[in-house]
Amino acid sequence: METIIEAVQRKYSNKSGQLEFQVVFNDRVGNDFNTLFASLPEHGRNYFAAAVAASFYGRVFPSSSIHIAYSSAALNWLSKAPEGLTVEGSPAWNGGKIHYSGAPDAVARAYEQQFEEDMEMFFRCRAQEIAAGGLILIIMAAVADTHCQHRVAKMLTSIESILIDMVKEGVLSQERVDSFNVPIVFPCVEDIRRLVGKINSFEIVKMEMIKGESAMEGGTETAVMHIRAGLEGTLTNHFGNEIVEQVFVRAMQHQQKLHFAQINTSTTGVFAVIKRN
């Protein structure tokens, strides 16, 4: 946010009067906002800070009240796992798997459909909240094309194999795994472009691929910690603390076997600047 504010200050440096900035942080209600506020710089902060706890797949702010919105590494999370994945007999039944990675086409299509609905909802809500001429900046994980597998998606299959081992050992029931799917997608850039294009209120100013997070390149242990940071909450809600602890102990023990390191897949993302007409 500091970088964005500095850019705006530079742009308006010739204008008379001091600009004031209000940053409103947004995350779901379960987020630890106390830690967020405690981590903000105590001195020299050039903005007023506030927060709204709500899903961005609904309205979060009053009409035309936002000049710049920044969504960082969040739009990969769907509003929910797609319907049908847990319905035995449905074409998208995803028994024994926890994601579309390595799953039948119908499962991938169900995820795509959910992503499409969610993106539409996200942009319809932002269209009301962002003032005319305002911007949305987005950074999210993405792949160059649909044949490319994102590294995090590949890691999910490793977590899946640990869960299946635990089923075989009787630690966990098959039903528990069958009824769980991670609500996360790694869309291809062209799909994101198409979905934004569907909403008339916005125009894409810039959309480019970026190299993935450096945390993913710090070796297998870092990779396991990274995926734990991202997934622990979702896994714990479904499986409980004890199971999740075991999953990550096993992930650390079997890093090599689970080929967290040798995965030769994309760690890319997309950066987009989108303008409200």
Q: In what order do the strands lie in the sheet with 66-72?
A: 66-72, 130-141, 269-276, 202-210
Judge contact between 127 and 200, C-beta under 8 A: no
- For 199, phi then psi, to 5°, come to -95, 115
Look up residue 231 and give its two tokens.
Answer: 């997934």
Q: Is 147 helix (H, G, I), strand (E, B) or coil?
A: coil
Of 23, 56, 84, 143, the residue at the interface with ligand SAM (CB under 6 A) is 56
Of 31, 86, 149, 222, the residue at the interface with ligand SAM (CB under 6 A) is 31
Q: Applying CB under 6 A, which part among 38-46, 53-61, 166-174, 235-243 lies near ligand SAM?
A: 53-61
Q: Applying CB under 6 A, which part among 71-79, 125-133, 186-194, 200-208 lies near ligand SAM?
A: 71-79
User: C-beta of 103: minimal distance to ligand SAM in Å?
Assistant: 22
Does residue 230 touch ligand SAM according to CB under 6 A?
Answer: yes
Size of the site for ligand SAM (CB under 6 A): 13
Of 8, 21, 27, 213, the residue at the interface with ligand SAM (CB under 6 A) is 27
Look up residue 140 and give its two tokens.
Answer: 């999210």
Of 57, 111, 180, 239, the residue at the interface with ligand SAM (CB under 6 A) is 57
Compute the CA torsion angle 244, 248, 249, 252 (nearest 10 deg). Answer: 180
User: Integer distance in angstroms from the first to the last C-alpha of the chain?
Assistant: 23
Which parts of 82-218 are beta strand (E)?
Answer: 130-141, 202-210
By C-beta, is 55 or 201 nearer to ligand SAM? 55
By C-beta, is 21 or 25 nearer to ligand SAM? 25
Neighbour count for residue 212 (Cβ, 10 Å)? 18
Does residue 61 touch ligand SAM according to CB under 6 A?
Answer: no
Per-residue x/- marks for ligand SAM, 73-102, CB under 6 A?
Answer: xx--x-x-----------------------
Of 6, 22, 28, 64, the residue at the interface with ligand SAM (CB under 6 A) is 28
Does residue 267 touch ligand SAM according to CB under 6 A?
Answer: no
Judge contact between 23 and 50, C-beta under 8 A: yes
Q: Which residues of 113-124 are buried (b: 16+ CB within 10 A; e: fewer)?
A: ebbeebbeebbe
Contact residues for ligand SAM (CB under 6 A)?
A: 26-28, 31, 55-57, 72-74, 77, 79, 230
